[in-house]
């Protein structure tokens, strides 16, 4: 061999040796000694900095001491002087390492490396672009110029996207930055759905939930393969999946049944936070699995000292949304909540007392606490949705105190608060429009009926009419109406006359055939009947 060839082979051997020693180093001092023993080029210096970052992360070392070391500055100077000679993959690793080591993004050297990355974007592979996008989305946010250019390159080259790992990574970490890219990723995920494992499905579902993207075809495909191919799922996967389905309000009964059945054996070993997340997600979905909820109620009883007061309140509110009464309800509702009322924040306290009213478990101390003038005076009086929701719940609690608590003597809400119904009625649904059309011919006059009637009980009646003893419509305006804030008449009802209220049941999915399971609607139904109406269900 010629002398030139022998010199080239010797250089390759030395480069391999340095690379092996960089990878084998176990401490930052070993790496710094390597930098003193060898004359490093910019690519080797970049690899050494990347290894320093990895060791600092793995061994939880202070990065400040590493960055302030004089030898680190020398390495940084080598890279800065010859940054154009750093290999593409190493350049991406270097930028990640500098961010991880906490270097100021305003430093000239860091900006120089970012500029070099920007110039090389066309030469980077798709996976390198994906890794770079993940890094920049985490470190710099949506306003980063470099991230914007990387996203544009990904959008243009999306046909190169291969492999489930890259799809999942981009959806979870980068999809929120670019809706256009997320559309492409959803199409690719739908194509690869059968190849996803349980953890991939979990991460995709969470990405969709956090971005509020209700991609029905993709969710259906993921649900199908989840049922067909994956017999057992881990606890983290089960909890995240039911959270995502609840956040997106996506109903898939077979999946819910599978998740509930596999969650039940885990309940005894779950943390209070996990139990709370689980029960809230099922409540959002209006899906009741009796064995699972009984297990959660028993868990709450057995671990009452570990379950915090806010967590207990959240569990009770979730039970109320489904009108679930634990079999051991006396023990469950006699837990320590009553003695902790003063420590509960006002909005949460209103919610939990409302839930107890739904479940018909609100004793006088609960009602007296939230209906006291000193308490409701502290609630926000603005027109925000949150404030309106609180006022509406207070009206319904007040109605429960009047209509369902015969031994309760007060206090009650003052008259000026009884008209606080919140926002006006939304656009009529097809069911409401059909009800109005059906009743129009029957009422035979505009004064013989009311529609979308706000009551002092906090519930809106979809339609109201008054019938005499012969079931003929009577005008409503001349008679006293205690359910209204301001009655249009003063005359008592004729003998045998009856008020008729129409309430609609309009929900996309039910957890059981019985409509009584929907707590809020069950309480509205009870209050309307207790107020003397003949109730007609419309569905």
Residues 380-412 have pLDDT tens digits of 777 788 888 888 899 999 999 999 888 888 799
Whether the pLDDT of residue 435 is over 50: the answer is: yes
In a domain, 484, yes or no: yes
pTM across the whole model: 0.82
- Residue 279 CA: distances (Å) to CA of 138, 222, 359, 363: 31, 23, 16, 24
Judged by average pLDDT, the poorest of 12-26, 266-280, 370-384, 437-451 is 437-451
Burial code (b: 16+ CB inside 10 Å, e: under 16) for 43-79 equals bbbbbbbbbbbbbbeeeeeebeebbeeebbeebbebb
What span, in angstroms and rounded, lies between the C-alpha atoms of 308 and 345? Answer: 13
Region 32-47: mean pLDDT is 86
Decide: 205 and 245 in contact? Cβ < 8 Å. Answer: yes
Same domain, 451 and 392: no
The range of the structural domain enclosing residue 434 comes to 430-537
Residue 3 pLDDT:
44
Same domain, 394 and 442: no
What span, in angstroms and rounded, lies between the C-alpha atoms of 307 and 271? Answer: 9
What is the rounded average pLDDT for all residues in the chain?
85
Residue 420 pLDDT:
58
Most confident among 254-263, 437-446, 520-529 (mean pLDDT): 254-263
Residue 191 pLDDT:
92
In a domain, 92, yes or no: no
- CA-nearest of 472, 469, 470 to 448 is 472
Same domain, 501 and 526: yes
Q: Is pLDDT larger for residue 280 or for residue 144?
A: 280
Q: What is the tally of structural domains in the chain? A: 2
In a domain, 352, yes or no: yes
pLDDT band for position 208 (cuts 50, 70, 90): very high
Same domain, 406 and 442: no
In a domain, 461, yes or no: yes
Tens-place pLDDT, residues 337-369: 766 777 788 889 999 999 999 999 888 888 998
In a domain, 531, yes or no: yes
In a domain, 236, yes or no: no
Region 532-538: mean pLDDT is 82
Same domain, 457 and 527: yes
302 membership: H or E segment, kind and range: helix 290-302
Same domain, 439 and 354: no
In a domain, 383, yes or no: yes
- Domain end position, chosen among 361, 386, 419: 419
Whether the pLDDT of residue 221 is over 70: the answer is: yes
Burial code (b: 16+ CB inside 10 Å, e: under 16) for 303-313 equals eeeebebebbb
452 membership: H or E segment, kind and range: strand 449-454
- Domain end position, chosen among 419, 440, 474: 419
Residue 444 pLDDT:
67
- Domain end position, chosen among 419, 446, 470: 419
Region 28-35: mean pLDDT is 86
Same domain, 413 and 435: no
Centroid of chain to Cα 102: 31
- CA-nearest of 73, 130, 129, 142 to 101 is 73
Whether the pLDDT of residue 448 is over 60: the answer is: yes
Region 520-531: mean pLDDT is 86
Same domain, 375 and 413: yes
Residue with tokens 């391999």: 16
Question: How far apart, in Å, do the first and last CA atoms of the chain sit?
Answer: 92
């Amino acid at each position: 061999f010629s002398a030139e060839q022998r010199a080239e082979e010797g250089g390759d051997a030395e480069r391999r040796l340095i690379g092996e020693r960089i990878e084998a180093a176990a401490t930052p001092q070993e790496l710094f000694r390597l930098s003193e023993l060898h004359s490093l080029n910019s690519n080797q210096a970049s690899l050494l900095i990347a290894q320093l970052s990895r060791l600092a992360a793995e061994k939880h070392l202070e990065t400040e001491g590493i960055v302030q070391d004089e030898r680190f500055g020398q390495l940084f100077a080598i890279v800065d002087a010859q940054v154009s000679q750093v290999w593409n993959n190493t350049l991406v690793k270097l930028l990640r390492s500098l961010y991880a080591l906490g270097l100021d993004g305003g430093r000239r050297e860091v900006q120089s490396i970012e500029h070099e990355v920007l110039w090389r974007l066309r030469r980077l592979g798709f996976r390198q672009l994906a890794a770079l996008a993940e890094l920049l989305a985490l470190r710099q946010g949506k306003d980063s110029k470099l991230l914007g250019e990387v996203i544009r390159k990904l959008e243009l080259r999306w046909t190169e996207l291969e492999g489930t790992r890259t799809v999942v990574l981009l959806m979870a970490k980068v999809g929120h930055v670019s809706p256009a890219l997320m559309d492409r990723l959803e199409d690719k995920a739908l194509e690869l759905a059968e190849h996803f494992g349980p953890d991939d499905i979990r991460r995709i579902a969470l990405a969709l939930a956090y971005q509020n993207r209700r991609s029905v075809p993709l969710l259906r495909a993921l649900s199908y393969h989840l049922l067909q191919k994956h017999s057992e799922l881990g606890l983290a996967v089960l909890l995240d999946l039911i959270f995502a389905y609840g956040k997106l309000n996506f109903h898939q009964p077979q999946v819910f049944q599978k998740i509930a059945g596999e969650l039940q054996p885990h309940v005894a070993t779950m943390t209070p936070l996990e139990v709370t997340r689980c029960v809230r997600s099922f409540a959002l979905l209006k899906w009741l699995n009796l064995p699972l909820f009984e297990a959660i109620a028993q868990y709450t009883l057995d671990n009452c000292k570990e379950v915090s007061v806010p967590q207990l309140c959240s569990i009770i509110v979730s039970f109320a949304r489904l009108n679930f009464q634990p079999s051991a309800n006396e023990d469950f509702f006699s837990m320590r909540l009553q003695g902790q009322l003063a420590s509960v924040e006002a909005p949460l306290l209103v919610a939990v007392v409302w839930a107890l009213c739904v479940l018909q478990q609100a004793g006088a101390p609960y009602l007296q606490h939230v209906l006291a003038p000193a308490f409701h005076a502290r609630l926000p009086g603005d027109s925000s949705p949150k404030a309106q929701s609180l006022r509406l719940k207070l009206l319904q609690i007040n109605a429960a105190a009047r209509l369902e608590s015969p031994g309760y003597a007060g206090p009650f809400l003052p008259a000026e608060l009884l008209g606080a119904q919140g926002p006006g009625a939304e656009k009529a649904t097809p069911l409401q429009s059909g009800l109005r059309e059906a009743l129009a011919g029957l009422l035979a006059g505009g004064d013989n009926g009311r529609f979308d009637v706000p009551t002092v009980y906090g519930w809106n009646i979809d339609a109201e009419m008054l019938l005499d003893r012969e079931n003929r419509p009577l005008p409503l305006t001349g008679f006293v109406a205690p359910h209204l804030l301001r009655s249009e008449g003063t005359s008592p009802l004729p003998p045998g006359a009856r008020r008729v209220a129409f309430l609609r049941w309009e929900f996309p999915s039910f957890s059981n055939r019985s409509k009584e399971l929907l707590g809020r609607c069950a309480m509205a139904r009870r209050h309307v009947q207790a107020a003397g109406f003949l109730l007609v269900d419309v569905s």
